[in-house]
Amino acid sequence: MVMKMEGGFLNNLGRVYAIYTGCFVAFTILIGILEYAGVPNVYLGYMYVAGTLTVYAVIGFLSRTGQLTEYYVAGRSVPAFYNGMATASDWMSAASFIGMAGSLYLGGFDSHAFIIGWTGGYVLVAVLMAPYLRKFGQYTVPDFFGARYGGNAARLMAVLVLVTASFVYMVAQLVGVGIIASRFLGLSFEIAVYAGLVGILVCSMMGGMKAVTWTQVAQYIILIVAYLIPVTILSAEVTGVPIPQLMYGQALEKVAALEKSLGILNAHANPFSNARGEYEFMRMVNFFALAFCLMVGTASLPHILMRYFTTPTVREARSSVGWSIFFIYLLYFTAPAYAVFAKLEVYQNVIGQPIASLPAWVAEWTKIGLVTLRDANSDGIVQLAEFRIQQDAIVLATPEIAGLPYVIAGLVAAGGLAAALSTADGLLLAMSNAMSHDVYYKIIDPKAETAKRMMISRVLLVILALLGAWVAGSLGADILFLVAWAFSIAASGLFAGLVLGVWWKGTNKPGVLAGMIAGFAVCMFMLISSEFYGPWLKGLLGDSTNLVAARGRQVAWPFGLNSISVGIFGIPVAFLVTVVVSKLTTPPPQEMQDFIDSIRIPTGAVKLADGEAPPH
């Protein structure tokens, strides 16, 4: 009966999600009608959040399962189109939805490194990773390390890197949830973070990857609609053409004119120059270092690579990467337009205006600390230097900045919540599955029954979620910085072992262990030293280190590199150590080389070194 229902669902995916989309549009129209009828905004906010969370909970409940393959890899039955959509939702976290346009707003050209790195990384995924991991056919990324390098040492090291990177990434999502809930539900940030856990746990607790997959497809629909609508309306209002991706050049010309009238200096034609047109070598280095770390990190993130275990075939895995890039492109192609239209609205309606007559949104976002306003010269007029908006507020605040109805602002909040929850679900599942499957089942109790393994995974999922909420609520953080650090950590610890494990037969267990430990250790040392010990190191090494001590986030000593690019140290170290140690030690046996050959060929069985074939 269950299989029959599942088959019916899979054969009607288009109809199911078309109906879902229609219902979501109708729900949004209902919110608009209630707003017009005078229902207070705070109630509308609760309706948005409650409505979307209810949908996610229903999907999670209907997708509940007691089968291992469904819990870990969604039964390997997800078509490429829908897996691409789920991957995009899993991928487009709070950093992409909330932080990217804000980074472009504040950082301009330099912030394009995020777009280049994140999209370019999927080329590496398609060419180097996805088809071969799908052909391998097990449950987790540490599974590959365990099978490829033999024994449990490499598996355990992969789990350590996975949990570290994923936990940092998850905290960023919870910070995003806290920002959204605190603004639109009126909760304190600390409480809002824990409230977000409800939405996370209802998606993944009962159905694992099966529930998360179909929830993420639903979440992608919400987040992309929510992201496109406000900036499309702005484009129509400002340029007369509702295609912001093509028309924001006109808005940019108006921004440039306003900057000239406000006396703001711009860089010359060379993007790697300062406001006076002076060439900045380290600015260029930081740009490419960040793009490189994000690109390699993309191809190393376990919660993304896990998605390609869920497709029916190797061919579908390849196609799924293409669909992933397309669905991600829809948002990334729009982010620069968001930044430009938001800046135009701020310059026109805030800068140069009397403080007493500022729009209401300024006070609302000031309450939660994402907007700072001071009257430094006591003239009652807002000067550019007196107004500061944090990057995490740009997308969420744009509907209010532009004076759009609350139904649009609430829609954007629902989209941001969907982005944060979908990624948090994937990250939690990656961590709990790795710890329950690769540590508990593979090492501690290989005879554990299915029910016990799934129970342990669910318990770990709850513990990790609560711990992440405590860290996010207690410390807070910049979303983009946390995400970039997670990419560097994953890239430094996993990328060399994954790539060389597929593409160089000479990689052996001592080599990969030494490389993973060295890359991970170097990355963490550079990150921790720059972030938490900046003042001490500056005093010890002198000002020539160019170290900025403001919580260390500006540069990573001693070369003046941004701390978000610390992977630039760990990645080459991991490769170098892996290759050197592998060359100096005994090469892998012929059985292992046969295993490598078997996962490179799209068809045929996989030949594990121990003689067992993995489940497909």
How many domains is the chain built from?
Answer: 1
Q: What is the mean pLDDT of residues 506-511?
A: 94
Contact 202, 56 (CB under 8 A): yes
Is residue 139 situated within a structural domain?
A: yes
Is residue 70 situated within a structural domain?
A: yes
- How many CB atoms lie under 10 A from the CB of residue 292? 20
Structural domain harbouring 299: 2-239+278-330+396-491
Contact 83, 310 (CB under 8 A): yes
Q: What pLDDT is recorded for position 277? A: 52
Q: Is the pLDDT of residue 415 over 80?
A: yes
Q: Which of 10-14, 171-175, 533-537 has the lowest mean pLDDT?
A: 533-537
Is residue 478 situated within a structural domain?
A: yes
Is residue 553 situated within a structural domain?
A: no
Q: What pLDDT is recorded for position 366? A: 86
Q: What pLDDT is recorded for position 604? A: 72
Is residue 368 situated within a structural domain?
A: no
Q: For helices 100-107 and 394-401, give the axis angle rounded to 10 degrees.
A: 80
Q: Is the pLDDT of residue 97 over 70?
A: yes
Q: What pLDDT is recorded for position 186? A: 74
Is residue 83 situated within a structural domain?
A: yes
Is residue 463 situated within a structural domain?
A: yes
Tokens read off for 99: 């932080």
How far is C-alpha 403 from the chain's CA centre? 29
Number of residues that this document lists for the chain: 616
In whole angstroms, what is the distance from residue 435 CA to residue 430 CA? 9
Q: What pLDDT is recorded for position 533? A: 56
The H or E element that residue 372 is part of is strand 371-373
pLDDT band of 376, cuts 50, 70, 90: confident
Query: CATH number, domain at 26?
Result: 1.20.1730.10
Q: What pLDDT is recorded for position 275? A: 53
Which residue is associated with the tokens 């499957």?
A: 437
Q: What is the DSSP string of 34-75?
A: HHHTT--HHHHHHHHHHHHHHHHHHHHHHT----HHHHHHGG
Residue 561, beta-bridge partner list: 556
Q: What is the mean pLDDT of residues 373-377?
A: 78
Q: What pLDDT is recorded for position 615? A: 47
In whole angstroms, what is the distance from residue 460 CA to residue 140 CA? 16
Contact 418, 39 (CB under 8 A): no
- Nearest CA to 334 out of 220, 223, 243, 236 is that of 243
State the average pLDDT for the chain.
83
User: pLDDT, tens digit, for every residue of 443-495?
Assistant: 888 888 888 888 888 888 889 888 888 888 776 667 778 888 899 999 999 99
